Amino acid sequence: MIQPGGTIGILGGGQLGRMTGLAARSLGYDVHVLDPDPNCPASVIASRTVAARFDDADAAASLAERCAVVTLEIEQIGTAALAAVAARTPLRPSAEAVHVIQDRIRQKTWLAANGFPVGAFRAVGSRDESVAAFEQLGRCIFKSTSGGYDGRGQIRVGSAEAAADAWKSLGERPCLVEQFLDIASEISMLVARRPAGAGSIDLPRHVTFPPSFNHHEHGILDWSVLPAAVGPATVREAEEVANGIAATLGIEGLIAVEMFIQQDGSLLVNELAPRPHNTFHSTERGCATSQFEQLVRAVCDLPLGSTEILRPAAIANLLGDLWSDGTPDFAAALTVPSVRLHLYGKASARPGRKMGHLSAVGLTGDEARDRVLRARDAMRIGA
């Protein structure tokens, strides 16, 4: 157990690192971060920022040498850097778990091999294989193997010619091709898991948050509501799948599991993330324990917090587009009951970039969602 007063290292200094660091500070921990940008969002809450690329093993070793434990807020960390950390201090989640998740082909293959429900897919490594994948799957989506968050690096394909073009557009490199699904909605699950064998046997090793309901626009999360308004059978199945994935991967820390609910009610796993997740920012408002505090507790092997919903909550993302006509009207957003503003401290705004989010609670999830959307609309210049 790493007691408060110790130092937590975070690989990545974006908004997730910033919010995790704030939770760590509240619990009494010191925070060090590694990020290519010395002025990254998390730098303002870290007592030490190591400015280096995510594949810099020497820099990662330097971070680890002064930390009692290291976690991450972005999975695209170089293999050598992860190994350098693990050789010096506990890395949670493990390098092995991150390795599985950080490549989409490897991730989807692992899910299928371990019996978790996924849609039909193919791994392609050439133009001809791309065309063949379309001929086998029909309408499909080509995805780059790494990166490509928020809809980037993904191309919808409806013909053999488009498949060939997609292969070329994605750099003529290996791609994951997924069959287009008849989706009714999307939810996500979040599991927190602590190391084995520490603390009282009466304390749970893992806890699972209720599912979040997610709405996307142009491949980017627009808003989410916690808890999702889905039936108890769906919740039980989603929990079983998410807990199974966390246990099989041996996760220590957090894992988010994005899932599709098909029109027939069946669940399919979309993607995994071994870190805090945008769809669970609402836990700061609606749950007894936020996802960020839960991550700190898990990696430090402290007792895990309750995931009880205190009040339904929602978030709406604030993208750089809101800044296109000038600084948004933040004060207008704060006139909406229960709304809070969360800005990430990013130096410049650009279309599609996540600059912050709004959160709210309500008597129902719909009320909380309506509040954040009304507040966001009020922020628009000239609204």
Does residue 198 register a pLDDT over 60? no
**Whole-number pLDDT of residue 203:** 81
Among 376, 289, 382, CA closest to 336: 376
CB 270 within 8 A of CB 259: yes
pLDDT of 151 > 80? The answer is no
CATH code matching the domain that covers 120-179, chosen among 1.10.1070.20, 3.30.1360.120, 3.30.1490.20, 1.10.150.20: 3.30.1490.20
Q: What is residue 382's predicted lDDT score, i.e. its pLDDT? A: 63
Query: Quick one: CA dihedral 32, 37, 38, 41, positive or negative?
Result: negative
332-347 average pLDDT score = 96
CA 323, distance to chain mean position in Å, is 24
The per-residue pLDDT for 200 is: 53
Residue 215 confidence (pLDDT) above 70? yes
Confidence of residue 150 (pLDDT cuts 50, 70, 90): low
H or E element in which residue 174 lies: none
Q: Give the homologous superfamily in CATH for domain 183-379.
A: ATP-grasp fold, B domain (3.30.470.20)
CA-based nearest residue to 166, from 54, 205, 176 = 176
Average pLDDT score over residue span 27-37: 98
Alpha-helical segments (H) within 170-254: 232-249
User: Does the pLDDT value for residue 63 go beyond 90?
Assistant: yes
For 225-247, the pLDDT digits (tens) are 999 999 999 999 999 999 999 99
Give residue limits of the domains in the chain: 7-91, 120-179, 183-379
pLDDT digits (tens, 9 = 90+) for 81-124: 999 999 999 999 999 999 999 999 999 999 999 999 999 999 99
Peptide bond into 93 cis (omega under 30): yes
- Report the SS3 class of residue 88: coil
pLDDT score recorded for residue 235: 97
Strand partners, 141: 156, 178
Phi, psi of 230 (to 5 degrees): -125, 160
Binned at pLDDT 50, 70 and 90, residue 196 comes out as: confident
| Rg, C-alpha atoms of the chain | 21
**Whole-prediction pTM value?**
0.95
pLDDT at 125: 94
- pLDDT averaged over the chain? 95
Using CA atoms, how far apart are residues 102 and 59, in angstroms rounded to an integer? 20
Mean pLDDT, rounded, for 141-162 = 84
> Residue range 165-183: average pLDDT?
93
The alpha carbon torsion through 98, 178, 151, 94 (nearest 10 deg) reads 0
pLDDT 10s digits, 360-369: 999 999 999 9
The whole-angstrom separation of Cα 163 and Cα 167 is 6
Would you say residue 73 has pLDDT above 80?
yes
Check if CATH label 3.40.50.20 holds for domain 7-91: yes
Predicted confidence band of residue 383 (pLDDT cuts 50, 70, 90): low
| Portion of the chain with pLDDT greater than 90, in percent | 93
Judge whether residue 29 has pLDDT over 80: yes
- Distance between CA atoms of residues 35 and 53, nearest Å: 7
Place of tokens 């193919």: 122
Q: Residue 146: its pLDDT value, please?
A: 79
CA dihedral 219, 220, 222, 226 (to 10 degrees): 90
**From CA 141, how far away is CA 32, in angstroms rounded?**
38
Using DSSP's 3-state secondary structure scheme, residue 280 falls into helix
Task: Give pLDDT, residue 147.
Answer: 67
Work out the angle between the directed axes of helices 15-26 and 291-299 (0-180°, nearest 10): 70
- Cβ atoms of 154 and 142 within 8 Å: the answer is yes
> Which pLDDT tens digit goes with each residue over 315-332?
999 999 999 989 999 999
